[in-house]
Amino acid sequence: MRRLRGRLIQPYVKEHHLRKTDLVMPLFIDEVADHPTPIPTMPGQFRYPLTRIGPAVRKLQEIGIGAVLLFGIPVHKDPEASEAYNPDGVIQQAIKRIKSEAPGVLVITDVCACEYTDHGHCGIIGEGPCGMDLQNDPSLELVAKIAVSHAQAGADLVAPSCMLDGMVGAIRTALDVEGFQETGIISYSTKFASALYGPFREAADSGYSFGDRSTYQIHPANAREALRESEDDALEGADILMVKPGGFYLDIVAAVRELGFPVAVFQVSGEYAMIRAAAMNGWINEKAVVMESLICLKRAGADLIITYYAADAAGWLDEEQ
């Protein structure tokens, strides 16, 4: 087998390839910011003001990153997440600016309530068997309203991340009723209750004020449940299935791939922060580790990779040309 490991022949027999069109850049838009604000837990990442989101996306487009996933930080929060579906909300405004200032970019929006509720949970809260908890069915109407508002603003794909039972069906019905049959759904169909989301919660100001999300996200030990979640969302009308986080769950990525749908993987904030911190301390070769992590996600079955390293990877791919 060593004959096929020669330096000249290696590129011709490599089984998987990473391309810029595999990469999606997550971006945070802060309604109260007046300049890009560094995120301490994610060195190199920023919260962007609305006035700077168009140029930021255009810069990504110029280096070959043509897809973005948007998260918003609103001025006002309340128990019902009313700003999440405000036609003039932070994400709705951001979509319009991107479509105007960076035409041709694929705009994906996170559909959830956690950044918009004052309690930090992903929907409507009420009394449950063990105290206050997320109420699944009352929250479906909320996420459907959020998704429709994003479609009305011009989003190409909506990405529900709240892990509600029935969320994809509710959103698909609402979009179709409102005339947005062409708006696709990337479902966070297999989302684990992971410890790797910590840096994101600071970045998006989405930490919860009580409890945790283990009653509606998947326990890391449960592979069969994880696959059932993606199967359910596929039946409800999801166009693309997502596994989140990525690197710790390559077995799940491979299993979801077998369902026959395009698969997205989110290389989450904790994964980014660990690699970046180790690189900043000189313990690892950042470029080599990042590119290895991304090709392994591709090998496992990912079609799309949502990663905070998208812009860096684009530059590194150019170096390989």
Cα–Cα distance, 90 to 30 (Å, whole number):
7
Q: Answer whether 306's CB lies under 8 Å from 109's CB.
A: no
Residue whose C-alpha is closest to residue 262's, from 183, 170, 187: 187
d(CA 197, CA 183): 28
Task: List residues bridging with 46 in a β-sheet.
Answer: 38
Of 77, 99, 145, 191, catalytic = 191
* Low-confidence residues of the chain: pLDDT under 50: 209
Confidence at residue 117, expressed as pLDDT on a 0 to 100 scale: 83
The confidence score (pLDDT) of residue 127 equals 62
What is the pLDDT at residue 129?
59
Q: Determine if the pTM surpasses 0.85.
A: yes
φ, ψ for residue 216, nearest 5 deg: -135, -5
Q: Is 239 helix (H, G, I), strand (E, B) or coil?
A: coil
Domains and CATH numbers, the chain: 15-319 (3.20.20.70)
Is residue 249 within 8 Å of residue 192, measured between CB atoms? Answer: yes
For the stretch 98-135, pLDDT in tens is 999 999 999 999 998 888 887 766 777 776 655 557 77
Q: Is 99 a catalytic residue?
A: no
**Residue 164, pLDDT score:** 85
Active site residue 145: no
For 149, which DSSP code?
Answer: H
Q: What is the pLDDT of residue 64?
A: 98
Given the residues 77, 145, 244, 298, select the one marked as catalytic.
244
